[in-house]
């Protein structure tokens, strides 16, 4: 006899942030930052593209560095919960007349077939996939701990934590509502623009127990489809404080921090990748989500002097 769980189909769902592909005008400087300083493992290098992962990530990669003239984000990757969810999402997008592109398996090394689309409103390039290789690290980097892919090195970032993306004030409501209605993100915290109380200033959303896997913020310079920052998780508050000292000594540009967020109670440090100029958050601690429908924030702490 089948059980209820065997018969129940929740529909396609996103499991977690998977990987982000960022363009960098100087891949060697970016590798010095992410690999040599933050401590990520370079799993594979194919021409002008490098695939990296953190020491507690078993998948092939969570960061792709692509040497190119423009320092832009090429894609935001999310892993879905089941193999069939890639096709089920594609079918739903087609029904909404959202243009999609199938990315064949292996186009991004180590990754299976993906579906690519632009988020309605914000136009961020999202890619959804399920299959991902889980290669062993080289013997000299391999960890003896089964939960770790490699030994802890450098500043010891242990996993990709979240994305924070921006949309124009005129489009953010559409984009934020769409990812909640169609990708299953739950609004955990939010703030509205003080002078436009029906317009989202910032929304922290998740599909996991985290306060946010994805944040969406209004860009006050009317710029759409922008990355505010990508975040990597450290084990403890003290690791974030140590990172601030180390990165300052290495002349890595620090934006804001270290400090503690009002939203989520995590320790933060915002710095800039010297190769691409992309903002990177070093993130430690924080609360888990306890509000399935979200609640209003009293305000938004500025995270960087840059737009």
pLDDT tens-place string over residues 226-255: 999 999 999 999 999 999 999 999 999 999
User: Which residues, in sequence order, are bridge partners of residue 190?
Assistant: 203, 296
Question: Which segment of 41-45, 208-212, 275-279 scores lowest on mean pLDDT?
Answer: 208-212
Residue 175: left (phi > 0), alpha (psi -120 to 50), or beta?
A: alpha
What would the two tokens of residue 159 be?
């996993």
Q: What is the pLDDT of residue 257?
A: 80
Question: CATH top-level class for 10-129?
Answer: alpha beta
What would the two tokens of residue 209 be?
């127990």
- Give 259's contacts (C-beta < 8 A, 6+ positions apart): 267, 268, 269
Please check whether the two domains, 10-129 and 159-296, share a CATH topology.
yes
Q: How confident is the model at residue 303 (pLDDT cuts 50, 70, 90)?
A: very low
| Segment 254-272 mean pLDDT | 87
Q: Which of 115, 63, 68, 112 has the alpha carbon at shortest distance from 89?
A: 115
Q: What number does CATH give the domain 159-296?
A: 3.10.180.10
Residue extents of the structural domains in the chain? 10-129, 159-296
């Amino acid at each position: 006899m089948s059980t209820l769980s065997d018969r129940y189909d929740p529909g396609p769902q996103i499991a977690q942030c998977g990987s982000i592909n960022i363009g960098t005008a100087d891949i060697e400087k970016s590798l010095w930052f992410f690999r040599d300083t933050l401590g990520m493992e370079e799993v594979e290098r194919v021409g002008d593209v490098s695939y990296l992962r953190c020491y507690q990530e078993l998948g092939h990669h969570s960061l792709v560095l692509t040497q190119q003239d423009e320092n832009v984000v090429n894609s935001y990757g999310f892993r879905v919960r089941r193999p069939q969810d890639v096709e089920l999402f594609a079918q739903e997008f087609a029904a909404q007349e959202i243009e999609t592109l199938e990315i064949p398996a292996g186009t991004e090394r180590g990754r299976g077939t993906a579906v690519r689309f632009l988020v309605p409103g914000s136009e961020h390039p999202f890619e959804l996939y399920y299959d991902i290789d889980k290669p062993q690290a080289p013997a000299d980097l391999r960890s003896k701990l089964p939960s770790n892919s490699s030994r802890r090195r450098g500043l010891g970032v242990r996993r990709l934590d979240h994305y924070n993306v921006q949309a124009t004030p005129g489009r953010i409501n559409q984009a934020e509502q769409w990812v909640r209605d169609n990708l299953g993100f739950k609004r955990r915290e939010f703030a509205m623009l003080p002078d436009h109380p029906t317009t989202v200033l910032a929304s922290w959303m998740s599909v996991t127990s985290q306060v946010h896997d994805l944040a969406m913020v209004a860009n006050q310079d009317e710029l759409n489809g922008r990355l505010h920052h990508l975040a990597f998780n450290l084990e403890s508050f003290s690791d974030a404080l140590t990172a601030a000292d180390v990165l300052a000594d290495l002349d890595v540009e620090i934006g804001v921090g270290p400090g503690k967020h009002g939203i989520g109670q995590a320790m933060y440090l915002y710095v800039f990748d010297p190769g691409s100029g992309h903002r990177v958050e070093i993130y430690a601690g924080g609360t888990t989500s306890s509000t399935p429908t979200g609640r209003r924030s009293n305000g938004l702490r500025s995270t960087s002097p840059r737009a």
